[in-house]
Homo-oligomer: A and B are copies of this chain.
Amino acid sequence: MAPTPNPRLLYAKIPSEELPVAGEHLVFDPKPTIDLDVELKSGQFLTKTLLLSPEPYMRERLRDQSIISYSTPMVLGQPLVGFGLVVVVRSEKEGVKAGDYMFGFTPWEHYTVQPYVDARVDYTGYPAYTFDMDLLVLQPVPDPQGAFPWTAYVTALGCPALTAFIGVEKLSGAKKGETIYVSAGASGVGSIVIQLCKIKGLKVIASAGSDSKVEFLRSIGADVAFNYKTTPVAKALKEHGPLDLYFDNVCGEQLEAAIDNMNMNGRVLCCGAISEYNIPREERYGVKNLSLVFKRRISFQGFIVADSPEMNARFFAEIPPLVAQGKIKTEAHEFKGLENGAAAFLSMFDGSATARPVLVVDPQYGS
């Protein structure tokens, strides 16, 4: 068969501690091709990429391989790798057949011979707190048959949603009548936290960075929603708090304001720090009120999804019906085509995403 174009989004250069630049660090490469009749070895299968999920944690992976962190780094010169929805084109792997849908880690390119190898990292020598991201292999998922859109695999059923679920259901101890503050409320994590907490009967205070996102927060049930760019967080929390819980994926100034407004025995769940991902450490916001941790007997718990594999089954049993019934709503900002992949990725950090970004690689699977 004639070669088929197989464009990809390359991790072309290690960014400094600042925001990566499209065309420099993240480069769309239209030139590669693939022979779709390529011979597959036993255990291999060929997939076509349908949807890709830009997620904040990916930023940390764009670093020099010598720097140790909680995730293994991506491989320079290879496509980005992250969660995505694919369909199987051909298979020489037992239990996987053409037409199967799968969700999990896949390179940002049109077609991939799975399991991908070139973009993998040798895990040897990493400390225990570093999770081997390549363990997040593709798993079969059902065709929703119209019960919910395909993009829900990236939004309500994606890794950020699972993060929200683990935080609320396993770690938060959230009780009816308590008050929670959710920063980045329109994000993939925040929007699900809000809705799970409303189902549990909490009072939910949430913020986002634009008025249209604030409207979305209200539409999904937030009792108090505000634009943190026009209303100081400290002021809003003082007015609507105090807080029993803070779900933190922002860190810095928002964390400080939340601590200032915590109740006795307040709990802080930390699953991200988006305010810090593109800022050199010395320029980050220094939190100056940590003495309140003992004064109010506050607890912090940091977590990532990978620590709670036992929650996956519950998540996939409980959330899809809620999504199908419209009890959990999501909003996606769809970017079309891999050529817009860098823009989709950067939209999480530069404020241009109007909602959780989804990169639609095959237009049939967008909305």
Interface residues of chain A, those whose CB is within 8 Å of chain B, are 60, 69-70, 127-129, 242, 251-252, 255, 263-265, 268, 270-273, 276, 281-282, 284-304, 307
Which of A69, A286, A290 has most B Cβ within 10 Å? Answer: A290
In addition to A270-B293, A281-B289, A286-B287, 11 A-B residue pairs with Cβ atoms within 8 Å of each other are A70-B295, A129-B265, A129-B297, A252-B290, A273-B291, A273-B294, A286-B288, A293-B300, A293-B302, A294-B302, A298-B300
Which of A70, A263, A265, A272 has most B Cβ within 10 Å? Answer: A70
Chosen A-B contacts, 11 in total, with CB atoms closer than 8 Å, are: A70-B295, A128-B264, A270-B293, A272-B294, A281-B288, A281-B289, A282-B288, A285-B286, A285-B288, A286-B286, A293-B300
The reply to whether A273 and B285 contact each other, CB–CB distance below 8 Å, is no
Q: In the complex, what residues of B have CB within 8 A of residue A282's CB?
A: 288
Q: How far is the CA of A304 from the CA of B299 in the complex (A)?
A: 13
Which single member of B60, B70, B290, B298 contacts A273 (CB below 8 Å)? B290
The reply to whether B298 and A294 contact each other, CB–CB distance below 8 Å, is no
The reply to whether B290 and A251 contact each other, CB–CB distance below 8 Å, is yes
Q: In the complex, what residues of B have CB within 8 A of residue A252's CB?
A: 290
Q: In the complex, what residues of B have CB within 8 A of residue A255's CB?
A: 290
Q: In the complex, what residues of B have CB within 8 A of residue A242's CB?
A: 127
Closest residue of chain B to A298, judged by CB? B302
Closest residue of chain B to A256, judged by CB? B286
The reply to whether B290 and A297 contact each other, CB–CB distance below 8 Å, is no
The reply to whether A299 and B301 contact each other, CB–CB distance below 8 Å, is yes
The reply to whether A284 and B276 contact each other, CB–CB distance below 8 Å, is no
Q: In the complex, what residues of B have CB within 8 A of residue A287's CB?
A: 286-288, 290
Q: How far is the CA of A290 from the CA of B253 in the complex (A)?
A: 11
The reply to whether B302 and A128 contact each other, CB–CB distance below 8 Å, is no
The reply to whether A296 and B264 contact each other, CB–CB distance below 8 Å, is no
Q: How far is the CA of A77 from the CA of B128 in the complex (A)?
A: 56
Q: In the complex, what residues of B have CB within 8 A of residue A286's CB?
A: 285-288
Q: How far is the CA of A128 from the CA of B297 in the complex (A)?
A: 11
The reply to whether A251 and B291 contact each other, CB–CB distance below 8 Å, is yes
Which of A69, A127, A287, A303 has most B Cβ within 10 Å? Answer: A287
Which single member of B290, B295, B299, B300 contacts A129 (CB below 8 Å)? B295
The reply to whether B251 and A296 contact each other, CB–CB distance below 8 Å, is no
Q: In the complex, what residues of B have CB within 8 A of residue A292's CB?
A: 302
The reply to whether A271 and B294 contact each other, CB–CB distance below 8 Å, is yes
The reply to whether A284 and B288 contact each other, CB–CB distance below 8 Å, is yes
Q: In the complex, what residues of B have CB within 8 A of residue A129's CB?
A: 263-265, 295-297
Closest residue of chain B to A297, judged by CB? B302
Which of A60, A263, A282, A289 has most B Cβ within 10 Å? Answer: A289
Which single member of B69, B270, B294 contacts A270 (CB below 8 Å)? B294
Q: How far is the CA of A273 from the CA of B295 in the complex (A)?
A: 9
